Amino acid sequence: MFRSSQFSRLSLGIAAIGALAITGFVAAPSLAAEDAVVIPAPAMDAPASDGVQTVVLSGGCFWGVQGVFQHTAGVVNAVSGYAGGNKSTAQYDTVSTGTTGHAESVQVKYDPKKISYGKLLQIFFSVAHDPTQLNRQGPDSGTQYRSAIWTSTPEQKKVTDAYIAQLNAAKVYSKPIVTKVGPLEGFYPAEAYHQDYLTLHPNQPYIAYNDLPKVENLKKIFAENYIEKPTLVSGAKLTD
**Catalytic positions, written as ranges:** 61
**Contact predicate 152/159, CB 8 Å:** no
> Could you tell me how far CA 47 lies from the centroid of its own chain?
23
The set of long-range contacts for 18-23, using a CB threshold of 8 Å and a minimum separation of 24, is none
Identify which of 49, 40, 72, 42 has the alpha carbon closest to the alpha carbon of residue 153. Answer: 49
Separation between Cα atoms, residue 164 and residue 43, nearest integer Å: 11
Q: How far apart are CA 71 and CA 66, in angstroms?
A: 9
